């Protein structure tokens, strides 16, 4: 049948996929190196390759961006990719996140003694999915990119074989992620069935000229697609996986989930609902409205009762997801631009915060209880100071980029004047204030006295941490019975012990902060402050973040 | 009377529902993975039915991609399950409850 | 539709038979429960060990690699059908695709995914190299701060690399 006629080959613009191709190339290069070179390769080399790859990807994005500014937006790869400001800017933010991830992973890999390139290679592949998602203009393309992003993340979550929590996180993420993917693709099937295409441009064109007599099937499909996205961005009521997965996954992987996965998913969510499904805005807006309110409130209240810093940040990222959904409620071009602004700001803040947490976690990646942060300021003023900065930025304190982001979304919402938009603004502000409590709690703990007497920490709620704090309150003699080293130590000269006690009154579980982590934290901190003080840069950038349609 | 497209759509919906219910009620992780496969294949059936209705080959090509993704998910899922349960007795989701709060 | 009637009848009969069997046995069978009858295997012998031996991980590994190649073929078949029309463009795309599958495969092979033969048993390290005089002294001085986590969760603080078991 087909062989008789000549094929019309799609025109492939390789420039359009250059940022993604570079990332895949970097990942394959690392795997090939690890396969062919017999001797052990220092993780520093892999980190450098990842860093350079991400910079090259950003560079390709910049070239693409300039090209778009000069010659306008265009469709590439037979309409599957939309090369426009929105996609390219989000893609570059993904590149930045990968660069910071590469830096903060270097210290992690050296500390934990992981010598393989898996963590970084999977990070690059996952980032490829996020960049593709930001540019994808076809529902199936979005689905594929989403899976490239997610499947790599499932493995990343389960990479830490020493902690059972890591494997548990991977299973939970896999099952719920697979569930959401299946719902998503079933929704795509219905959209395809009713509109006759999976291409966003063609769907938009279909609705411009046609009116569905019976749109029940389409509404089902649209809702299923929205649910699939809501799972990926951890919006209430589809957020339950996120605290567990954030806690269990290795910390660099967690930072990846919090930044890159959300960048990709939100970009695709906005593109689908603001371009293809815009004519059904009356139908999806109330849904998004409700989800946004629930997400904002649960993100704020859920974090209050946590004692694990990674769990707190999971709830914090849920609350941020609520803010970003507000941009979707605003709709149209302004909403999309403010969302991009929020995403860029969020990338820097969250990557910075997780870079600090990676370092504080200590060897074994276990020290994420809030008690581990007590007295951090005394030993590592730089770490605690930058952590305070990032957390304040998340709370939306002025002169940080977090304030700019929240202000951008809320002002757009208030000026949109839609039904209930002021209610949403009030809910968002309340959520912001409540979540500031748990940000402040971490900050206060880092600046409190190192030893646990008179600590500010409230009674822990979780069972495991409860036991942990009981153990902590034991006195030295009682506890050291647990450790046989005491018997060995008795043989030593008592003066030697006293001298050792004087020299290090408190063992520092963190040790020397790796240079790469310091660089990662510095980059994030600089961006947080500079973009916060000069928000004009960001607003100018995102004014070009428009869709092709 | 011929078997119209809507019959296949209904079959797809039934399969999808079985998958969802199975995922929610079963506690064996392997069976949960199978349920996800069932859901994806229900989507495939829906795709093919609609492609038939529209006389469009695009919907059938989409099935390829969904199939591939399903396989990749299974491979990763099996790998994770094997790596976790090598030291445990059973592959039950209720055992995975060390994190709460 | 008429051609489907026999199948439909058969399905109805099958369901009816199953339902009737259940109901009939529930009504007619005598009910005298004993411990042996409630036990999982009602064959008079108390099970002495775990029934099913598990497959070695290697089988799963090979199965997984098989699935990857199985799926790769899905894309090769359509290409093979029209490879003449696609000419150079198709060939280049296919080579890129195959390379991106084969490089990870080379990585797997180099890391021993296909090594059969006797399974090397890992010998647990009895002494910890990182524990020295000074670290012991420091550990006593800081009781709970570092160690409480590993004690409470009951995890072994294993210092070996995580990925090597695969």
Close Cβ partners of A14 (under 8 Å, ≥ 6 residues apart) = A21
Using only C-alpha atoms, what is the Rg of chain C?
Answer: 30
Task: Inform me whether the C-beta atom of residue A9 falls under 8 Å from chain C C-beta atoms.
Answer: yes
Q: Residue C65 domain-assigned?
A: yes
Cβ C74–B72 below 8 Å, yes or no? no
C99 domain residue, yes or no: yes
Residues of B in contact with C1 (CB under 8 A): 1-3
Give C-chain residues touching A479 at CB under 8 angstroms.
Answer: 143-144
Domains and CATH numbers, chain B: 28-89 (1.10.287.3510)
In a 10 Å sphere around its CB, with 0-12 CB exposed, 13-18 middle and 19+ buried, how is residue A438 labelled? buried
For Cα atoms C91, C93, C95, give the angle at the middle one, nearest 5 degrees. Answer: 70
Q: Which two tokens stand for residue A58?
A: 């950003």
d(CA A75, nearest CA chain B) in Å: 18
C7 vs C13: CA distance, rounded Å = 10
- The residue among A246, A306, A302, A319 whose CA lies nearest residue A457 is A306
B65: chain A residues, CB-CB within 8 Å: 140, 143-144
Which pLDDT tens digits describe chain A residue by residue (549 residues)? 444 456 677 777 788 889 999 999 999 999 999 888 878 888 889 999 999 999 999 999 999 999 888 888 888 888 888 888 899 999 999 999 999 999 999 888 888 888 778 899 999 999 999 999 999 999 999 999 999 999 999 999 988 878 888 888 999 999 999 999 999 999 999 999 999 889 998 999 998 888 877 788 899 999 999 999 999 999 988 898 999 999 999 999 999 999 999 999 999 999 999 988 888 888 888 889 899 999 999 999 998 988 899 999 999 999 999 999 998 988 778 888 899 999 999 999 999 999 999 998 888 888 888 888 888 888 888 999 999 999 999 998 888 999 999 999 999 888 887 777 888 899 999 999 999 998 999 999 988 876 544 444 444 444 444 444 444 444 444 444 444 444 444 445 556 555 555 554 455 677 788 888 999 999 999 999 999 898 888 888 888 877 766
Cβ contacts (< 8 Å) between C133 and chain A: which residues?
A: 492
Please count the structural domains in chain C: 1
- Spatial neighbors of B50 by CB under 8 A, at least 6 apart, are A189, A192, A193, B5, B9, B59
Report the predicted TM-score, pTM, of the whole model to 2 decimal places: 0.80
3-state SS class at A82 = strand
Q: Is the peptide bond before A237 cis (omega within 30 degrees of 0)?
A: yes
Q: Is C163 an interface residue toward A (CB < 8 Å)?
A: yes
Write the pLDDT tens digit of every residue in B21-37: 999 988 888 889 999 99
Task: Evaluate whether A219 touches A283 at the Cβ level (below 8 Å).
Answer: yes
- Rounded CA separation A429/A435 (Å): 10
Q: Are A384 and A457 in contact (CB under 8 A)?
A: no
Question: pLDDT band at B95, cuts 50/70/90?
Answer: low
Contact C75, C118 (CB under 8 A): no
CB A224 within 8 A of CB A187: yes
Q: Does residue C75 form part of some domain?
A: yes
Structure confidence at residue A549 (pLDDT): 63
C127 falls within a domain: no
| Interface mutation target, options C5, C64, C82, C156, chain B, most CBs of B under 10 Å | C64
In this prediction, residue A312 carries a pLDDT of: 92
Nearest of B92, B86, B75 to residue B37 by alpha carbon: B75
Where residue A235 falls (left for φ over 0; alpha for ψ -120 to 50; beta otherwise) is beta
Mutate to test the interface with A, among C162, C163, C164, C165 (most CBs of A within 10 A): C162
B3-38 burial, b for 16+ CB within 10 Å, e for fewer? eebeebbeebeebbeebbebbeeeeebeebbbbbbb
- Note the maximum CA span of chain C: 88
Residues A388, A443: Cα–Cα separation, whole Å: 6
Which residues have CB under 8 Å from B97's CB, separation 6+? Answer: none
Q: Which two tokens stand for residue C12?
A: 């109805």
Instruction: Give the nearest chain C residue to B72 (CA atoms).
Output: C68
| Proportion of chain B in helix, strand, coil states, percent, rounded to 5 | 80, 0, 20
How far is the C-alpha of A227 from the C-alpha of A229, rounded, in Å? Answer: 5
Q: Specify the pLDDT at position A461.
A: 46
Check pLDDT > 60 for residue B84. yes
Within a domain: C35: no
- Give the number of C-alpha atoms closer than 13 A to the C-alpha of residue A194, restricted to the C-beta side: 21
Nearest residue to A198 via CA among B14, B61, B42: B61
Q: What SS3 state is found at A308?
A: strand
pLDDT for B17 beyond 90: yes
Partner chains of B (3+ C-beta pairs under 8 Å): A, C
- At A74, give phi and psi (nearest 5°): -150, 165
Whole-number pLDDT of residue A226: 94
Helices (H), A362-420: 376-379, 381-395, 401-416
- C166 touching B (Cβ < 8 Å): yes
pLDDT at A16: 86
Window 135-154 of C, Cβ < 8 Å to B: 153
CB atoms within 10 A of CB B100: 11
Query: Residue C73: closest CA among chain B residues belongs to which residue?
Result: B68
Q: In chain B, whose CA is at the least distance from the CA of A307? A: B101
In this prediction, the residues of chain C whose per-residue pLDDT falls under 50 are 42, 142-166
CB contacts, 8 Å: A154 with chain B = 76-77, 80
Domain span holding position C61? 57-110
Residue B90 predicted with pLDDT over 60: no
Chains touching A by CB (3 or more pairs below 8 Å): B, C
pLDDT per position as a tens digit, A94-119: 999 999 999 999 888 888 888 778 89
Cβ atoms within 10 Å of C54's Cβ, excluding its own: 12
Rounded CA gap, A182 and A188, in Å?
Answer: 10
**Does any domain span residue C42?**
no
């Amino acid at each position: 049948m087909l062989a008789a006629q000549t094929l019309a080959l799609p025109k492939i613009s390789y420039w359009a996929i250059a940022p993604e191709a570079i990332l895949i190339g970097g990942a394959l290069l690392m795997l090939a190196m690890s396969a062919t070179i017999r001797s052990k390769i220092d993780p520093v080399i892999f980190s450098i390759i990842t860093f350079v790859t991400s910079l090259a990807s950003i560079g390709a994005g910049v070239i693409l961006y300039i090209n778009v500014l000069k010659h306008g937006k265009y469709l590439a790869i037979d309409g599957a990719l939309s090369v426009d400001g929105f996609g390219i800017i989000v893609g570059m933010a993904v590149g930045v996140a990968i660069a910071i991830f590469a830096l903060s992973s270097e210290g992690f890999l050296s500390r934990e003694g992981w010598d393989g390139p898996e963590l970084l290679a999977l990070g690059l592949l996952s980032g490829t999915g996020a960049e593709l998602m930001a540019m994808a203009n076809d529902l199936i393309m979005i689905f594929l990119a989403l899976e490239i992003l997610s499947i790599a993340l499932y493995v990343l979550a389960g990479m830490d074989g020493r902690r059972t929590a890591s494997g548990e996180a991977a299973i939970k993420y896999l099952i719920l992620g697979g569930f959401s993917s299946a719902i998503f693709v079933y929704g795509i099937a219905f959209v395809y069935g009713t509109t006759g295409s999976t291409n966003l441009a063609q769907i938009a064109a279909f609705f411009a000229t046609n009116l569905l007599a019976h749109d029940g099937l389409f509404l089902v499909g649209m809702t299923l697609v929205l649910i699939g996205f809501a799972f990926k961005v951890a919006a209430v009521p589809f957020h339950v996986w996120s605290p567990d997965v954030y806690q269990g996954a290795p910390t660099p992987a967690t930072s990846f989930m919090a930044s890159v996965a959300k960048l990709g998913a939100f970009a695709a969510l906005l593109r689908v609902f603001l371009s293809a499904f815009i004519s059904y805005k009356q139908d999806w807006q109330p849904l998004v409205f409700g989800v946004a309110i629930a997400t904002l409130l649960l993100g704020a209240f859920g974090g209050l009762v946590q004692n694990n810093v990674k769990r707190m940040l999971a709830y914090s990222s849920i609350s941020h997801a609520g803010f970003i959904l507000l941009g979707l409620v605003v709709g149209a071009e302004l909403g999309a631009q403010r969302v991009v602004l929020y995403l860029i700001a969020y990338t820097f803040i969250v990557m910075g915060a997780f870079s600090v947490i990676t370092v504080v976690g200590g060897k074994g990646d276990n020290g994420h209880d809030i008690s581990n942060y007590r007295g951090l300021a005394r030993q590592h003023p730089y770490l605690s100071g930058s952590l305070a900065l990032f957390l304040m930025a998340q709370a939306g304190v002025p002169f940080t980029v977090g304030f700019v982001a929240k202000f951008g979304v809320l002002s757009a919402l208030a000026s949109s004047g839609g039904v209930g938009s002021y209610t949403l603004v009030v809910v968002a502000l309340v959520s912001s204030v409540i979540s500031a409590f748990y940000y402040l709690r971490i900050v206060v703990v880092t600046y409190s006295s190192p030893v646990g007497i008179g600590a500010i920490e409230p009674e822990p709620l979780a069972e495991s941490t409860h036991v942990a704090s009981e153990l902590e309150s034991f006195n030295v003699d009682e506890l050291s019975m647990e450790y046989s080293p005491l018997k060995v130590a008795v043989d030593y000269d008592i003066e030697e012990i006293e001298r050792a006690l004087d020299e290090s009154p408190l063992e520092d579980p963190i040790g020397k902060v790796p240079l790469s982590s310091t660089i990662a934290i510095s980059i994030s901190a600089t961006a947080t402050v500079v973009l916060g003080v000069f928000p004009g840069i960001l607003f100018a950038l995102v004014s070009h973040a428009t869709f092709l349609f | 009377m011929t078997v119209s497209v809507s019959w296949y759509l209904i079959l797809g919906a039934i399969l999808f529902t079985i998958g969802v219910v199975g995922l929610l009620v079963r506690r064996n992780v392997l069976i949960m993975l199978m349920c996800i496969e069932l859901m994806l294949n229900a989507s495939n059936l829906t795709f093919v039915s609609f492609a038939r209705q529209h006389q469009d080959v695009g919907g059938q090509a989409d099935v390829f991609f969904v199939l591939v993704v399903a396989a990749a998910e299974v491979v990763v899922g099996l790998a994770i399950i094997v790596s976790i349960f090598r030291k445990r007795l059973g592959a039950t989701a209720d055992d995975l409850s060390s994190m709460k709060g | 539709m008429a051609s489907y009637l026999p199948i439909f009848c058969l399905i109805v009969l099958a369901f009816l038979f199953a339902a009737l069997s259940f109901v009939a046995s529930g009504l007619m069978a005598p009910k005298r429960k004993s411990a042996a009858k409630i036990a999982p295997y009602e064959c008079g012998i108390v099970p002495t060990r775990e029934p099913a031996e598990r497959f070695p991980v290697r089988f799963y590994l090979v199965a997984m690699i098989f699935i990857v190649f199985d799926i790769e073929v899905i894309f090769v078949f359509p290409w093979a059908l029209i490879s003449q029309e696609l000419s150079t463009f198709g060939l280049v795309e296919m080579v890129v695709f195959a390379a991106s599958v084969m490089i990870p495969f080379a990585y797997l092979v180099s890391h021993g995914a296909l090594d059969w033969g006797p399974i090397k048993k890992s010998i647990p390290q009895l002494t910890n190299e990182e524990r020295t005089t000074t670290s012991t002294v420091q550990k006593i001085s800081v009781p709970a701060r570092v160690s409480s986590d590993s004690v409470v969760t009951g995890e072994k603080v294993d210092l070996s690399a995580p990925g090597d078991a695969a």
